Amino acid sequence: MAIERCVVVGWSDLRAIVFECTNAGCGARVVIRPDSELDKTEVVDKCPNGHPWSGGGLSANRTFGMLKQQMSSGGKVFKVLLQFDEPAPAEQKISC
Protein backbone atom coordinates (compact mmCIF):
# COMPACT_ATOMS: atom_id res chain seq x y z
CA MET A 1 0.00 0.00 0.00
CA ALA A 2 1.38 3.36 -1.01
CA ILE A 3 1.02 6.24 1.40
CA GLU A 4 0.74 9.64 -0.23
CA ARG A 5 1.75 12.63 1.82
CA CYS A 6 1.02 16.23 1.05
CA VAL A 7 1.72 19.69 2.38
CA VAL A 8 -1.02 22.29 2.81
CA VAL A 9 0.04 25.92 3.09
CA GLY A 10 -1.69 29.17 3.90
CA TRP A 11 -0.71 32.80 3.46
CA SER A 12 1.50 32.85 6.56
CA ASP A 13 3.49 29.88 5.25
CA LEU A 14 4.44 31.58 1.99
CA ARG A 15 7.97 32.90 1.58
CA ALA A 16 7.17 34.87 -1.56
CA ILE A 17 4.65 35.36 -4.32
CA VAL A 18 6.28 35.24 -7.74
CA PHE A 19 4.74 37.04 -10.69
CA GLU A 20 6.13 35.76 -13.98
CA CYS A 21 5.71 37.43 -17.34
CA THR A 22 4.01 35.19 -19.90
CA ASN A 23 5.13 37.17 -22.91
CA ALA A 24 6.84 34.89 -25.40
CA GLY A 25 10.54 34.62 -24.62
CA CYS A 26 10.40 36.85 -21.55
CA GLY A 27 9.61 35.01 -18.32
CA ALA A 28 10.85 37.91 -16.18
CA ARG A 29 9.80 37.59 -12.56
CA VAL A 30 8.86 39.93 -9.77
CA VAL A 31 9.18 38.39 -6.31
CA ILE A 32 7.01 39.88 -3.58
CA ARG A 33 7.15 38.97 0.10
CA PRO A 34 3.75 38.15 1.59
CA ASP A 35 4.14 40.85 4.25
CA SER A 36 4.60 43.56 1.65
CA GLU A 37 1.89 46.11 1.03
CA LEU A 38 1.73 45.58 -2.73
CA ASP A 39 -2.04 45.84 -2.60
CA LYS A 40 -1.67 49.39 -1.24
CA THR A 41 1.46 50.66 -2.97
CA GLU A 42 2.38 51.88 -6.42
CA VAL A 43 0.81 50.04 -9.31
CA VAL A 44 2.88 47.29 -10.88
CA ASP A 45 1.56 47.37 -14.44
CA LYS A 46 4.46 45.94 -16.42
CA CYS A 47 7.14 43.30 -16.13
CA PRO A 48 10.78 44.30 -15.57
CA ASN A 49 11.24 44.16 -19.37
CA GLY A 50 8.34 46.52 -20.01
CA HIS A 51 5.63 44.10 -21.13
CA PRO A 52 2.19 45.31 -20.03
CA TRP A 53 0.71 43.45 -17.06
CA SER A 54 -2.62 45.15 -17.01
CA GLY A 55 -5.87 44.71 -18.86
CA GLY A 56 -9.19 43.05 -18.25
CA GLY A 57 -9.26 44.46 -14.74
CA LEU A 58 -6.23 42.41 -13.74
CA SER A 59 -3.03 43.73 -12.25
CA ALA A 60 -0.29 42.39 -10.03
CA ASN A 61 -1.56 44.64 -7.24
CA ARG A 62 -5.16 43.39 -7.43
CA THR A 63 -4.05 39.77 -7.76
CA PHE A 64 -1.80 40.12 -4.71
CA GLY A 65 -4.63 41.75 -2.74
CA MET A 66 -7.12 39.04 -3.69
CA LEU A 67 -4.70 36.26 -2.81
CA LYS A 68 -3.85 37.92 0.49
CA GLN A 69 -7.53 38.30 1.34
CA GLN A 70 -8.54 34.80 0.33
CA MET A 71 -5.55 33.00 1.83
CA SER A 72 -5.47 34.69 5.23
CA SER A 73 -8.09 34.44 7.89
CA GLY A 74 -10.17 37.53 8.13
CA GLY A 75 -13.59 36.50 9.32
CA LYS A 76 -14.61 35.17 5.95
CA VAL A 77 -16.58 31.98 5.55
CA PHE A 78 -13.68 30.22 3.87
CA LYS A 79 -10.08 30.74 2.96
CA VAL A 80 -7.91 29.33 0.20
CA LEU A 81 -5.03 27.00 1.02
CA LEU A 82 -2.62 25.46 -1.45
CA GLN A 83 -1.74 21.79 -1.40
CA PHE A 84 1.45 20.22 -2.70
CA ASP A 85 2.89 16.76 -2.78
CA GLU A 86 5.43 16.39 -0.04
CA PRO A 87 8.92 16.64 -1.58
CA ALA A 88 10.94 13.46 -1.78
CA PRO A 89 13.77 13.36 0.79
CA ALA A 90 16.42 14.21 -1.85
CA GLU A 91 14.41 17.26 -2.94
CA GLN A 92 14.11 18.60 0.60
CA LYS A 93 17.73 19.76 0.54
CA ILE A 94 17.08 22.13 -2.35
CA SER A 95 16.57 25.70 -1.22
CA CYS A 96 15.23 28.60 -3.24
| Minimum CB distance to Zn ion smaller for 29 or for 79 | 29
Does 26 contact Zn ion by CB under 5 A? yes
- The site string for Zn ion over 49-68 (x = CB under 5 A, - otherwise) reads x-x-----------------
| Minimum CB distance to Zn ion smaller for 29 or for 76 | 29
Shortest-Cβ-distance residue relative to Zn ion: 21
Does 23 contact Zn ion by CB under 5 A? yes
| Minimum CB distance to Zn ion smaller for 50 or for 87 | 50
Looking at this protein, which amino acid is placed at residue 27?
A: G
DSSP the chain: -----EEEE-GGG-S-EEEE--STTT--EEEE-TTS-TTTSS---B-TT--B--BTTB-HHHHHHHHHHHHS-SS-S----EEEEPPPGGGGG---
The secondary structure of residue 67, as a DSSP letter, is H
**Binding residues for Zn ion (CB under 5 A):** 21, 23, 26, 28, 47, 49, 51
